[in-house]
Amino acid sequence: MNVAQATPIRAGDPGLRRWWLGLAAVSFVLTGCGDSVSGTPVAESAVSVRQVDGALADLLPSPARFPARYPAVVLPAQAASAAAGDLDGVGAGATVRPAECTPTEIEPGGEPAAVAVGSDEVSRATLTVELSRSAELISRLREQLSRCGQIHVSRAGAGSTVTTVLDQVVPPGADDAIALRRTVVPDVGGAGLTQTMQTSIGQIGDVRITVTSMTFGVGQPDTAAVDEMFATTVASVRGS
């Protein structure tokens, strides 16, 4: 399969598994405070977020920095957009119930996400690192996900149930971060199409870091690899 010409595939599509596994072949994929504070309250959406210099593609860790068991490739823009949508179990253009649980999408015309994907041939697991520009604070995302533990997603006639559980322990190094476990179960299809993901999401200035290990069927995500690549990506974005 030519990744550069890959047709975007969304969660719930039976072809999702084949698309991700095809990458393997190509690569060889407010805290409380009792004291009053003076000043005028500012809406969270109006808070200015520091811009990190450098193109996302340059801040993305190279494939050589992935664990050896995950030979990796950097995805071209079209495939990167499709991969980014699959990682939240929703994807662009999908209908989400409840509607207020719809993930925030990248603004049209903004800098495209940069994505690298590694694939473990033995377990058929993927390890994905995504960098995107976002003015949304992690605290807002955390609050949304805490309200949206289970959602239903519909797109192009296919449906799936997405369940998200926030971890108590968060990865270090970023300005703020969360970790979560997510499952995507299609309404129609065999058990082998169920996706399970372990994800760490961090923010450094206006750069959103998302690192995900994804498996299909009964496979379990590689938490250690997620921790390793999150630390690697934080260092890359910080320039250290």
For 197, counting Cβ atoms within 10 Å of its Cβ (0-12 exposed, 13-18 middle, 19+ buried), the class is: buried
CA 122, 124, 127, 130 dihedral sign is: positive
Residue 34 in 3-state DSSP? coil
Residue 73 in 3-state DSSP? strand
Domains annotated on the chain, with CATH: 3-29+44-238 (3.40.1000)
Please give the model's pTM, rounded to 2 decimal places.
0.80
Q: Do 170 and 187 form a contact (C-beta atoms < 8 A)?
A: no
Could you list the pLDDT tens digit for every one of the 240 residues in the chain?
333 333 333 444 444 444 444 443 333 333 333 333 333 333 344 356 899 999 999 999 999 999 999 999 999 988 887 787 788 888 778 899 999 999 887 766 789 999 999 999 888 899 999 999 998 999 999 999 999 999 999 988 889 999 999 999 999 999 999 999 999 999 987 667 899 999 999 999 999 999 999 999 888 999 999 999 999 999 999 996
Q: Do 128 and 211 form a contact (C-beta atoms < 8 A)?
A: yes
Q: Among candidates 168, 227, 236, which has minimal Cα distance to 207? A: 236
CA distance 203 to 3: 28
